[in-house]
Amino acid sequence: MHYKDYYEVLGVPKSAAEKDVKSAYRKLARKWHPDANPANPKAAEERFKEISEAYEVLGDADKRRKYDALGSDWQSAAHQAEQQRRYRDTQAEEGRYAYSQGFGGGAPNGASGFSDFFDMFFSGIGRPRTAERPFAQRGGDLETTLELTLRDAFAGGSKAVPLQIEEPCPHCGGTGVLNNAICPVCHGTGRTITTKRFDVAIPKGVREGQRIRLAGQGAHGVGGGPAGDLYLVVHFSDDPTYTRKGDDLYIDLPVSIYALILGGDVRVPTMTGDVTMTVPTGTQGNKLLRLSGRGMPKIKGGGAGDQYVRLIGTFPTDLSDRERELFGELAALRSNDKP
């Protein structure tokens, strides 16, 4: 990342007063505005962007202090800032954390894309302050994964969720400068990653991949602008008992072969407690029986899905001599039956 001498860009000394910085900017901006250079608009556009970038920093007292504090340490600060940026990118790729800074607009006549140095240390906050482009900007939206259990989704309600969030550095107030030096905590970036707890309202019956929006809990705004939003993407851990398909639940229930052959009542676990289910006489193994309305709550329209019970026949493994004898008699009675 190339360090830019913004004082050199504007042609003013480091000790220049605010009015002198503004005067130099206005003079150069008029000279290099693309509209004033029809013979070579592309070169003028690049020069105009560079001038605008320099004034965005030197024309703002807080950013100028931060820029001056970097001094000879700018390369070290850049390395630390790049590490933080890579951390955020890695989190986004793994689906746990994603960040996007939603600043709109660009320089006049399509000029856009400020330098890496500017974006690294000043977060792209704002562009030259014109009537068409006010300084205040909305903060970016954040997105992260919300891990839930199936029972969380069934019950719904409030859930305390800890999340990693990028916020202005509390030591330097987001300026990147502390006591006229680079902030040792955020290394000049003005941002830190902290863990916050949110009380999240979980809708009953929420599904995999759905997004829950927490308004105003995203990245902080710039120049008095509002904060962005935080989006939680729902992901379910595997449930040891149930498999979910839409609003329906499926469960495998081991039962004795006697229950399948002779029929009778069996106890079946559901999300609201055990219920009694009647197994018809002569039921085949792997047969699916339905419990109406025992599935997941439906987000739209009310009601609930169904629960399907797969009957898995179990056989005794420690037969007594008498049991073997009886099974033999049963086998003999049906020896002439077709398989």
Write the pLDDT tens digit of every residue in 290-335. 999 999 999 887 899 999 999 999 988 888 889 888 888 888 887 7
Q: Residue 251's beta-bridge partner residues?
A: 309
50, pLDDT greater than 70: yes
The more confident residue out of 68 and 54 is 54
110, pLDDT greater than 50: no
Average pLDDT over residues 244-262: 94
Q: How confident is the model at residue 101 (pLDDT cuts 50, 70, 90)?
A: very low
Give, in order, the Cα–Cα distances in Å from 313 to each of 249, 269, 282, 310: 20, 17, 12, 10
Per-residue pLDDT, 84: 55
Distance CA 308, CA 293 (A): 10
**Do 271 and 291 touch, CB atoms closer than 8 A?**
no
Average pLDDT over residues 270-299: 94
Per-residue pLDDT, 134: 45
Average pLDDT over residues 16-24: 93
Angle at 108 between CA 107 and CA 109, to 5 degrees: 120
pLDDT tens digits, residue range 163-173? 777 777 888 87
Distance CA 49, CA 116 (A): 13
Average pLDDT over residues 193-198: 84
Closest CA to 291 of 316, 310, 317: 310
Output the pTM of the full model. 0.56
148, pLDDT greater than 60: yes
Tokens (6 digits) for 103: 């600043």
Average pLDDT over residues 207-236: 87
Side-chain-side CA neighbours of 224 within 13 Å: the count stands at 3
Interstrand relation of 307-314 and 248-256 (parallel, antiparallel or unpaired)? parallel
Closest CA to 303 of 311, 294, 312: 294
Angle at 150 between CA 149 and CA 152, to 5 degrees: 65
Give, in order, the Cα–Cα distances in Å from 324 to each of 2, 258, 334: 86, 15, 16
Q: What count of residues does the chain have?
A: 339
Tokens (6 digits) for 66: 């931060």
